[in-house]
Amino acid sequence: MTLRQVLKTAIRHEWLAHLPDFSPPYKTSGKVVHRPWFSPEEYKQLYETTRAHAKASQIHHRWSAEQLHDYVLFLANTGLRPDEAKNLQHRDVTIVEDERSGERILEIEVRGKRGVGYCKSMPSAVRPYERLLGRAKYVKQGRARVRAKLPPSNEPPQLPKPTDHVFPGNHIKMFNALLDRSELKLDRDGNRRTAYSLRHTYICMRLMEGADSY
């Protein structure tokens, strides 16, 4: 309002030829869309559910369940999009000491739709990544009855190589099942949560901690 009065005064004194147009260049819908995320309490409930599921899973499901648990922790502490996590290879991730805090964090070379970018994780992403890095590659187990008839294998487990993907499997079906089991699939407004909600959780928690929104 004050600016408009100043400009009108400038026009009266012929310092300006006309009043500038302050209308926004694009029309907006006027509707604010809130992306679903997990509150701190809901996030704790989620990772406790995935951890318990990993411990209770039978041997032929345990690898996938353990991967899913670390997937949840990794995305919620890096802010990566699901498609970026899918493309991520171990050579893109480095464990470093943060210069400011002295804590260990991850430096990640992110490859997504917009090209290559770089990000630094929260310290809580390091331990899940160490488990991912130290977890042997998936070996199809088969049925217990069939496994019992096979001779024991003397081959050492194969650990991931730098060119291997950090998340080689697809955990969406198991993730959705655990969301339903823990009654976390819908937020309070009825919006469906997905793996993308882990990124929004990362963003919202950083804002709650006082991070600059710009």
Within-domain flag for 145: no
- Inside any domain, residue 133: yes
Is there a domain that residue 88 lies in?
yes
Structural tokens at position 86: 């899918």
Domain that holds residue 177: 36-137+160-208
Give the confidence band of 214 by pLDDT, cuts at 50, 70, 90: very low
Q: Is 124 part of a structural domain of the chain?
A: yes
**pTM score of the predicted model:** 0.79
Q: What is the CATH number of the domain that holds 59?
A: 1.10.443.10
Q: For residue 7, what pLDDT is reported?
A: 59
Q: How many domains does the chain have?
A: 1
- How would you write the chain as a 3-class SS string? CHHHHHHHHHHHCCCCCCCCCCCCCCCCCCCCCCCCCCCHHHHHHHHHHHHHHHHHCCHHHHHHHHHHHHHHHHHHCCCCCHHHHHHCEHHHEEEEECCCCCCEEEEEEEEECCEEEEEECCHHHHHHHHHHHHCCCCCCCCCHHHHHHCCCCCCCCCCCCCCCECCCCCCHHHHHHHHHHCCCCECCCCCECCCHHHHHHHHHHHHHCCCCCC
| Segment 91-109, tens digit of pLDDT | 999 999 999 999 999 999 9
Residue from 190, 146, 198 nearest 171 by CA: 198
Q: What's the pLDDT at 31?
A: 54
Q: What pLDDT does residue 210 have?
A: 83
Residues 201, 199: Cα–Cα separation, whole Å? 5
Confidence of residue 114 (pLDDT cuts 50, 70, 90): confident
Give a yes or no: residue 93 inside a domain: yes
Please indicate, yes or no, if residue 24 is contained in any of the structural domains: no
Residue 153 has pLDDT above 70, yes or no: no
Q: Does the pLDDT at position 80 exceed 90?
A: yes
Rounded average pLDDT over 173-200: 97
pLDDT given at position 36:
96
**Is 171 contained in some domain?**
yes
For 191, other C-beta atoms within 10 Å of its C-beta total 15
pLDDT above 70 coverage of the chain, percent: 76
pLDDT at 59 (0 to 100): 86
Tell me whether residue 21 is in a domain. Answer: no
pLDDT in tens, 15-71: 656 666 655 555 555 555 679 999 999 999 999 999 999 999 998 899 999 999 999
CA 98 and chain centroid, separation: 20
